[in-house]
Amino acid sequence: MGCALSSPVELIRVQRHGSANFRCAVAEMQGWRVGHEDAHAMHCDGSRATCFVLDGHGGDGAALFSAPQLLEELKNTDSSMPTDQQLEQVFYKVDERLHSYVQENPDKDSGSTVVGAVCVRSGDGTYSVKLLNCGDSRAVIARGPKEEEDSCAKVQIRRPQHLEALGAQGLGNAVKSELEEAPGLIAPAPPGAPVFPVVMETIDHKPDHPTEKFRIEAAGGSVTTMEDPPRLDGSLAVSRGLGDFEYKGDGQRLASEQKVSCVPDIYEIPSLQPGSICVLACDGVWDVMTAEDVAEYVREEVSREPPVDLGDVAAELLRLCLKKNSRDNMTCMILQLEDGTDWAGFPDEMQNYDKLLERHDQDEDVQSHYSTFLQVAKFPAQALSCDVCKRWLLQMNQCQCKQVFYCSRICQKKGWKAHQVVCGAKTDSAGTKHCRPAQDGV
């Protein structure tokens, strides 16, 4: 888990992306951890969307290097849905490149889990999704707001063969007990059909999972089960991922046979209805929320009229996880299978910026982490919030009087009636005062 700060870094960066067939948003928070080791990548174009969330450990090198590499490598596959073999090759190639990168940059030696989704819109208007899981981050598919429990069509799910062979053992994630007399107790989730609106969730790769334990021991490793959580060779709490090359050094074994495997489990879900929801998140979310918790929350928010912005939904989920005492970095990506054209080229947003005013009451270490989070996200050190909606986007417009900022032309028009009374900027020939893009640090 790593060392903890004296207080959490609560800034939340939100990114949005969209196309004619997909709407996607991701929120990330450093939280209590010393350092932010998560990374992500998303691309929506034409009839395909590709999304990844990576949760690094032992440093941010593996996650930051691999996220764009995964996306770029997938672009080289067919425009339709890639085969399982193609997807596995993507992970092999990225892991090999990461190995070379780490050899040249030893300070970047680390590991990362990966959870991803490749979504394709079919000619009949439905969607097919392949989920890629390599580690203990997790993906959840949920019904859209227009589907009702008593009338929605059954979905056929293709799961990895080793999970199907295990039956109930392979189809449940561990959950943390919320009983006051046993806080934090790890127990297996009860087997059975998922609870509406959940369609399915991926299964974590933990060292004590039957499939994982068999591979680890066959490769000469051990699984310590007396600890919480169980660990590979008494150290690593996850059994698949990119990097972690100290557990991949057996030259007589294939990549899929190493103590830590870089081969993802692949799930396929065809014929999803428009509006369906896919959530990808790292274990900082799943440590304190179940698939049902997350699916119900997201579905309820997007069912409102008007629907709540997916970026705001993802950000609020992270706030909720922090309140539930998640102690890890947190990243949550939400992909909705619907038109997201209005989000093409949408600028990044920084939420919880009011915490910047409180950071001066924190110790110097926490203040430094706030500054680093802003710097990495390419935001200025001081918040420049919209005078109307109070949002802080990476690209802000500043009135020529240099006194107020707006996040969009819409907000500028809304705010102009009140602002024109005090605005000292000159008018153009039409009598209109214009805004210009804000400069970094203004």
Virtual CA dihedral for 170, 174, 179, 180, nearest 10 degrees? Answer: 160
107 burial class (0-12, 13-18, 19+ CB within 10 angstroms)? exposed
Written as six digits, the tokens of 309 are: 């912005």
* Cβ contacts of 331 within 8 Å, gap of 6 or more: 26, 27, 28, 29, 38, 40, 53, 55, 281, 282, 284, 285
Q: Coil, helix or strand for 98?
A: helix
pLDDT score of 363: 87
Topology, domain 4-204+239-351: Phosphatase 2c; domain 1 (3.60.40)
Cβ burial 227-239 (10 Å sphere, 16+ → b, else e): eebbbbbeebbbb
97 burial class (0-12, 13-18, 19+ CB within 10 angstroms)? middle
pLDDT score of 185: 37
**β-strand partners of 332:** 27, 281
pLDDT tens digits in sequence order for the chain, 442 residues long: 457 899 999 999 999 999 999 999 999 999 999 999 999 999 998 899 999 999 999 999 999 999 999 999 998 887 689 999 999 999 999 999 999 999 999 999 999 999 999 999 999 999 999 999 999 999 999 999 998 887 777 888 999 999 988 875 455 676 654 433 334 433 444 455 788 899 999 999 999 999 999 999 999 999 998 877 899 999 999 999 999 999 999 999 999 999 999 999 999 999 999 999 999 999 999 999 999 999 999 999 999 988 889 999 999 999 999 999 999 999 999 999 999 998 888 899 999 999 998 877 788 999 999 999 999 999 999 899 999 999 999 999 888 888 889 998 889 888 888 888 888 775 555 555 556 555 443 4
Domain with CATH 3.60.40.10 in the chain: 4-204+239-351
* Cβ contacts of 79 within 8 Å, gap of 6 or more: 46, 47, 48
Virtual CA dihedral for 392, 395, 401, 402, nearest 10 degrees? Answer: 70
The Cα 336–Cα 325 span in angstroms is 28
